[in-house]
Chain A
Amino acid sequence: MKIKLLCLVIFFNFSVYATSNEILNESQIHKNLRCLVCQGQSIADSNSDFAQTLKMVVKDLIKQGKTEDEIYNFLSEKYGDWILYKPKFNYENFLLWSFPYLVLVFGGFIIVFLIKRRQKKT
């Protein structure tokens, strides 16, 4: 009974949020773009001319109906991958994206292995 109630509440919790879909968020995109003339800042955080210009460009691209990924592709073709704070998921960055999770899975296996070995003995 309690478990059922628990499942119900959890399910209800997330069905509420699933309906609140996110729209294309401009400032979210700004935060992912490096201000190339600054030191370690995104264009959302910078006041430089470059940042101001790039914000206009992003606004324009959104107006043209481009998706988030299309905007990133457009900008990285122009300025290089250096401009994106979230590296693309491609061949080159495959290791970057997957290795942490490999470690996570591997670590989990080790712990399970240690426990299993103990269980066999007893």
Chain B
Amino acid sequence: MLSNTGNFLLSLNIFLSALIIYYSYNNLKTSDNLISKKVFKISILQSTSILICFFTLVSAFLVSDFSLITVYQNSHSLKPIFYKISGTWGNHEGSLLLWVIILTLFSFLFLIYNRKHPKNYRLYTLIIQNFLILGFLFFILLNSNPFSFISPPPSEGLGLNPILQDPALAIHPPLLYVGFVGSSIYFSAAIASMITNYSDKSFAKSIKSWVLISWSFQTLGILVGSIWAYYELGWGGFWFWDPVENASLLPWFAMTALLHSLLVLERRNVLYFWSIILCLLTFVLSVMGTFLVRSGILNSVHTFANDPTRGIYILVFLSLMILVSVYILFSKYKPASIEINSNSKETFVLVNNWFMLFYLITVLLGTLYPIFTDAISNNKISVGPPFYNSVIIPVVVIFLFFMAIGPNAKWIKNKFIDLKIYSFIILAAIFFNFIIFFFFKSYSIISNLIVISSLFLILSSIMDLFKKINFNFPRVISHLSFGFLILFIGLNHNFSIEKDFNLKIGETKQIDNFKFHLKDLKLIQDTNYKAVVGSLKVNDLLTKEERVLKPEIRIYDNPQTLTYEASIQTNFIRDYYLTMSNIDRSDYYNIKFQKKPLMIWIWISVAMLSLGGFLSLFRHAKNN
């Protein structure tokens, strides 16, 4: 029954999208200045029906209707309700439905929130957005239908991968999707703007909110994903430069560049085509990321869904998107005279874009390069954290200095850079660096530079907080928290302590300044897993701190999986991170212990970074 309802609603949505394209197209030629009521009505209907379609799938998961293949493969009747719901988008088919929902809702919201802008520009945006919606609806219906059914229905489902049964991972996809699927709307708007020659400041105004929304959510989505990786994957890191992580970072770089170039377009009416390219690039990168992840072309921790036929469809869709947008771009391109002074805000925005593009290309190249070498010379290589760290980190140092100075430059022409203040700040930064150095002992030269440059950014942003003129609070918050982010990552990276050893019950071991004692092991039974819980006393002999950590080895029933749950004890100064695993044919347990300084501040910094985006959004909404 649910299968039929779902399929009907999907088909209805295809019909409605086609109808919107048809009516919008007809509406273009009318001399009337208003968009016809019909378009609005169908848009409302479209959004409603896609939401109902989604809730149909959610309810199929809730009642465990195993006649649907997707539910059968990804759910289980004994799973907690919360994870039954989040299971809806924890798989390929359901997450694509989430894609289409966001495409549709953004299409509708853009239509109703941009009344001030010209009719044809809005209509073309709607038309292009609906072509995207159609593309994904056909993909769902033909290839990845969440409503496909099996007959006879199996009596029990296979269950959701236990490492995905987690609150952070339940909200991770929706956040991230609002981010990068949300970028579709300015992809459409950019094409519409080129077609209708609506290219001045007001174009920048019309898409700014959407860029801010997607940027802020993308930032949050990446944050939640990292937190999940930190406590769930059990190795104590939060970023591995894994292809799937990179796929979420690439659109973020493009969005960040766009966010800054829009400032120039909005104020000075230059950089129009450059902003358009960034609009197009952001969504192209988002779809490309999806292609890389879903086609299984890359080896990654996250490849939860891969199947070559999906890859081909997305690849064709992606190529069409690129071809069309590049064609329109070339046919509309007019060389514009970009006139900027060396010492002006415009230049600094360009500098931001320059670095963002460098990061983007580095990460893109690193992600794709193994595919090329594999295809060309049959040699599989890995491009991992050491590559990105050594290529990107030195450049970040310079970037942070620009990031500190840039925002204080004036538009058009700046008089001078206040060398006195900046040399004072750099002296202060070096001074603080010394304090940190004596506190923590040695670290490498590059880490020094990172600490100094991030302190430079932090100090100058703090000074900006006290400025009366040109005060832009959201900007200061974001720049300040980015400085803190880099600082905390640097300190955390350099001063984490790792101990790896074996213990058996009742044994005590002292390694350097730490004393470990494995008190006992308990067997517990939860609704959907059994677990061995260890009680491990950790004594820090230097700080006289004593903590009991409880790492777990879990055995999930459906599907049968063994996972190692880290025990984490967080406070504002440091995290204790401990995992325990059994060693075959031995009564010893392997213990990995990490003391990670300032961990929680990394999360707080990213949350603040995103907050800056939201604040800026409210500011923009209030002023317009």
A residues near B (Cβ < 8 Å) are: 2-3, 5-6, 9-10, 13-14, 16-18, 20, 22, 27, 31-32, 34, 39-42, 44-47, 49, 80-87, 92-93, 95-97, 99-101, 103-104, 107-108, 110-111, 114-115, 117-119, 121
Contacts and interface: CB of A to CB of B under 8 A. Distances in A.
A13 B433 contact: yes
Given A5-B427, A40-B240, 17 more contacts: A9-B430, A18-B445, A22-B444, A41-B301, A42-B384, A82-B380, A83-B382, A85-B386, A86-B387, A87-B383, A100-B361, A103-B357, A103-B358, A107-B354, A107-B358, A111-B354, A114-B340
Which 7 pairs across A and B sit closest by C-beta, in order of nearness? A85-B384, A45-B235, A86-B386, A40-B301, A100-B362, A107-B354, A20-B442
B322 interface: no
Contacts of A3: 423
B434 A13 contact: yes
Nearest to A88: B381
B236 to A, nearest CB: 8
Nearest to A6: B423
Contacts of B338: 114
Contacts of A42: 384-385
B381 A45 contact: no
Nearest to A28: B386
Interface string B558-573: 0000001000000000
Given A20-B442, A32-B386, A100-B365, A13 B381 contact: no
Given A13-B434, A40-B301, A97 B350 contact: no
B430 A14 contact: no
B416 to A, nearest CB: 16
A111 B350 contact: yes
Interface in B233-264: 234-237, 240, 242
Indicate the member of A3, A22, A27, A44 with the most B CB atoms within 10 Å.
A44
Interface string B403-431: 00000000000000000100100110010
Nearest to A85: B384
A17 B445 contact: yes
Nearest to A82: B380
Contact of A85 (B236, B301, B380, B387): B387
Contacts, number: 139
A108 B391 CA distance: 17
B127 to A, nearest CB: 34
Given A13-B434, A97-B391, A39 B299 contact: yes
A74 to B, nearest CB: 17
B299 A40 contact: yes
Interface in B357-372: 357-358, 361-362, 365-366, 369
A81 B380 contact: yes
A11 to B, nearest CB: 11
A14 B448 contact: yes
Nearest to B420: A2
B384 A104 contact: no
Contacts of B366: 96
Contacts of B448: 13-14, 17
Contacts of B420: 2
A44 B500 CA distance: 10
A31 B386 contact: yes
B341 A118 contact: yes
A80 B434 contact: no
Interface of B: 234-237, 240, 242, 299-301, 303, 338-342, 347, 350-351, 354, 357-358, 361-362, 365-366, 369, 373, 377, 379-387, 390-391, 395, 420, 423, 426-427, 430, 433-434, 437, 442-445, 448, 452, 498, 564, 579, 581, 584, 590, 592
A82 B382 contact: yes
Contacts of A2: 420, 423
A18 to B, nearest CB: 7
Contacts of B235: 41, 44-46
Nearest to B395: A104
A16 B381 contact: no
Given A40-B300, A111-B351, A85 B383 contact: yes
A103 B444 contact: no
Nearest to B377: A92
Contact of B358 (A80, A100, A121): A100
Contacts of B365: 95-96, 99-100
Nearest to B441: A20
Nearest to A80: B380
Contacts of A115: 340-342, 347
Given A40-B299, A103-B358, A14 B445 contact: yes
A45 B233 CA distance: 9
B209 to A, nearest CB: 28
A84 B384 CA distance: 8
Nearest to A10: B430
A114 B592 CA distance: 54
Contacts of B340: 114-115, 118
B387 to A, nearest CB: 5
22 contacts: A6-B426, A17-B443, A17-B448, A20-B442, A40-B299, A41-B240, A47-B581, A47-B592, A82-B380, A82-B382, A85-B382, A86-B386, A87-B369, A87-B383, A92-B377, A93-B373, A95-B369, A111-B347, A114-B340, A115-B340, A118-B339, A118-B342
Contacts of B303: 39
Contacts of A95: 365, 369
A18 B446 CA distance: 11
A31 B385 contact: yes
A81 B382 contact: yes
Nearest to B423: A6
Given A17-B444, A41-B235, A96-B365, A34 B384 contact: yes
Contact of A96 (B234, B300, B383, B384): B383
Given A80-B379, A114-B340, A39 B301 contact: yes
Given A6-B427, A107-B358, A114-B340, A84 B445 contact: no
Nearest to B244: A40
B474 to A, nearest CB: 26
B381 A103 contact: no
B311 to A, nearest CB: 19
Contacts of A40: 240, 242, 299-301
